[in-house]
């Protein structure tokens, strides 16, 4: 009788161990599948924007666009671009560094906040980014250059104080293929690319139509 009870107890323990091992195995393979799926999705996003940016001589990521502005003088373009900076550069980290109306050049250093946040294990990585916007105005045209310089990454652990570091965009994935946190940084880079495109769209609209509306900023008042 005692032997049967022992056998039954041992059998129960073994079954519990087997179930635990099976559960861990399932979790492990599901994790791999999830990571692989995320990586595939991330790569698809990155492939969709490949070739839309270049590296400048300082190893910063740069976008450049020339916008035609029929009928507008250099001064008109400059004034509207200047107004755009005033409307949009309104945080303590945004600085308009150059304003040369004679040359038609304006340069501002700005900060994209909350570009992307992603979870990785027991912590969350929040990605913000520094950028530079340059405007060169001529009669009836303007060149806009957006340069992405540095990530400001904040690691937020579950049970510890956040830590922040500044890393060059060049040193991180996907520009650096050996960079870590590929899924998070890949998605963050895609989001950063879209922020740069939004800057182009906003600035072009402001130059052509004004920062409020044509009706409000028109000369008939």
Element of type H or E holding 159: none
Per-residue pLDDT at 17: 52
For the stretch 144-178, pLDDT in tens is 999 999 999 999 988 889 999 999 999 999 999 99
pTM of the model: 0.78
Distance from chain centroid for Cα 46 = 12
Per-residue pLDDT at 118: 92
Distances, alpha carbon 67 to alpha carbons 30, 103, 106, 136, 207, in Å: 49, 17, 15, 10, 10
Q: What is the mean pLDDT of residues 1-25?
A: 50
Q: What is the mean pLDDT of residues 128-132?
A: 97
* Residue 112 · residue 131 · CB < 8 Å: yes
């Amino acid at each position: 009788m005692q032997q049967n009870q022992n056998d039954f107890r041992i059998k129960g323990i073994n079954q519990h161990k087997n179930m635990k091992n099976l559960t861990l195995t399932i979790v492990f393979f599901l994790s791999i599948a999830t990571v692989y799926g995320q990586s595939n999705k991330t790569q698809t996003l990155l492939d969709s924007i490949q070739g839309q940016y270049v590296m400048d001589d300082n190893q910063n990521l740069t976008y450049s666009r020339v916008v035609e502005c029929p009928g507008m003088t250099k001064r008109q373009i400059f004034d509207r671009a200047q107004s755009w900076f005033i409307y949009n550069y309104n945080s303590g980290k945004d600085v308009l560094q150059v304003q040369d109306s004679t040359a038609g050049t304006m340069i501002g250093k700005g900060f994209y906040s909350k570009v992307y946040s992603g979870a990785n294990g027991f912590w969350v990585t929040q990605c913000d980014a520094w950028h530079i916007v340059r405007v060169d105005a001529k009669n009836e045209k303007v060149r806009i250059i957006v340069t992405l310089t540095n990530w400001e990454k904040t690691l937020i652990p579950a049970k510890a104080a956040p830590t922040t570091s500044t890393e060059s965009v060049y040193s991180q994935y996907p520009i650096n293929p050996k960079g870590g946190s590929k899924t998070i940084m890949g998605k963050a880079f895609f989001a950063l690319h879209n922020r740069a495109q939004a800057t182009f769209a906003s600035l072009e609209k402001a130059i052509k139509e004004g920062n409020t509306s044509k009706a409000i900023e028109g000369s008939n008042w």
